[in-house]
Amino acid sequence: MNSFDVIVIGAGAAGMMCAIEAGRRGRRILLIDHAEHPGEKIRISGGGRCNFTNIHAAPKHFLSANPHFCKSALKRFSAADFIKRVEARGIAYHEKALGQLFCDDSSRSIIEMLTDDCKEAGAELRLSTSIGTIEKTADGFALETSGGALACSSLVIATGGKSIPKMGATDFAYDVAQQFGLHIIEPRPALVPLTFTSGLLEEMKALSGVSTEASVSCNGMAFREALLFTHRGISGPCILQISSYWREGDDIAIDLAPDIDVFARLRAARQTTGKLAPQTVLAEFLPKRLADAATARAGLEGRIGDASDKKLKVLSDAVKQWRVKPAGSEGWRTAEVTLGGIDTDGLSSKTMEAKETPGLYFIGEAVDVTGWLGGYNFQWAWSSGWAAGQVV
């Protein structure tokens, strides 16, 4: 029998949640994925421990051309609702920082919870299956797949965004959306390391591997978390966060010592420990290699006792107001998520159904709703999948 009430394409976070909810309502569900295993991004997420939600998840943590679109789904299936499922399953978890919840053991326990729930809800899972054509029929949709022809009344597209093509990410959701007349907001890599120009890279070469807490800002947003110098440029949570707000050609402002009045510290050291080199004073609160690089960038040499206020200000600014123009980002290869995607204008925020094509739904990362780093993107996948699962 190749006819189903609901076909969900994409057995990731959103697709599995939708299949569970619809299956529990007694719908006959087929969940299809071209990968060999379901939930591969869940498996690799959070360093293998899946940062499965954020207890503070709220609409303000999401970027979208329509910032109101995510509100309904997030409210109706919240972080607390997902946490209840994790607790009922007996999965041990902990808060790492900033409300981010991680599994104590392995992200596989989340995948197992979802696949068991799918099974219990009666949803059939077909892996290693690719989709050819999709056509609208009088009473639903007809699909050509590598496993034969299929039909359904409701079709849910949950194939995610473009990040990490090596893991099977495709443009599929955008192609289907366009086939049915929906608009796409240009997808761009987000939560992604930023790269330096070759000149800056040469100057910063010695810093590769250095990590420090920093405050970064760009286009009116600021994040304060760890910053990591890499052999390509800069990364770490604060850079991944700001990458969602950065655009080509923009500067980002970096404060490498957010709690410290560096100018005051340098002036005080000039009085009390004038024989020290400026970088030795900076190294009291910065990693040594970073202190050396900032001092070299400010062009300071000799003893701090001989430096004028003007020179100390230049050095302080090199630490507190470092302005960098990234050359670009590391792109889809390492981006955690996709910014942009299917324009929410064409979708119902309550059900995720395409306004002009009844029976067609888009959920998860494919939609133009992108969370900050810290469990927000999975929460969007759970919430949007749940919302569609109530009605498909």
Residues that bind ligand FDA (CB under 6 A): 9-15, 33-35, 40-41, 44-46, 50-51, 130-131, 158-160, 163-164, 168, 170, 172, 336-337, 364-365, 375-378, 381
Q: How far is the CB of 40 from ligand FDA (least distance, A)?
A: 6
Comparing CB distances to ligand FDA, the nearer of 170 and 390 is 170
- Residues 104 and 318: their CA atoms lie apart, in Å, by 40
CA–CA distance from 319 to each of 214, 253, 280, 290, 365 (Å)? 10, 10, 14, 9, 37
For 300-328, give one letter per residue: b (16+ CB within 10 A) or e: beeebeebeeebbbebbbbbbebebebbe
Is 160 within 8 Å of 34 (Cβ atoms)?
A: no
Q: How far is the CB of 164 from ligand FDA (least distance, A)?
A: 5
Q: How far is the CB of 127 from ligand FDA (least distance, A)?
A: 9
Q: Is 3 exposed, middle or buried (0-12, 13-18, 19+ CB in 10 A)?
A: middle
Q: How far is the CB of 156 from ligand FDA (least distance, A)?
A: 11
Comparing CB distances to ligand FDA, the nearer of 44 and 264 is 44
Q: How far is the CB of 213 from ligand FDA (least distance, A)?
A: 20
Is 115 within 8 Å of 125 (Cβ atoms)?
A: yes
Q: How far is the CB of 24 from ligand FDA (least distance, A)?
A: 18
Q: Spell out the long-range contacts of 25-28 with Cβ–Cβ below 8 A and sequence spacing 24 or more.
A: 25/389, 25/390, 27/154, 27/392, 28/4, 28/122
Comparing CB distances to ligand FDA, the nearer of 196 and 376 is 376
Comparing CB distances to ligand FDA, the nearer of 10 and 389 is 10
Comparing CB distances to ligand FDA, the nearer of 140 and 193 is 193
* Cβ-proximal residue to ligand FDA, closest one: 12
Q: How far is the CB of 259 from ligand FDA (least distance, A)?
A: 28
Degrees, nearest 5: CA angle 45-146-360: 65
Comparing CB distances to ligand FDA, the nearer of 44 and 268 is 44
Residue 327 has which token pair?
């050359």
Comparing CB distances to ligand FDA, the nearer of 15 and 346 is 15
- Residues 144 and 152: their CA atoms lie apart, in Å, by 12
Comparing CB distances to ligand FDA, the nearer of 42 and 315 is 42
Query: What 3-state class would DSSP assign to 118?
Result: helix
Write the single-letter amino acid at 176: V
Q: How far is the CB of 129 from ligand FDA (least distance, A)?
A: 7
CA–CA distance from 271 to each of 18, 69, 120, 308 (Å)? 66, 57, 73, 12
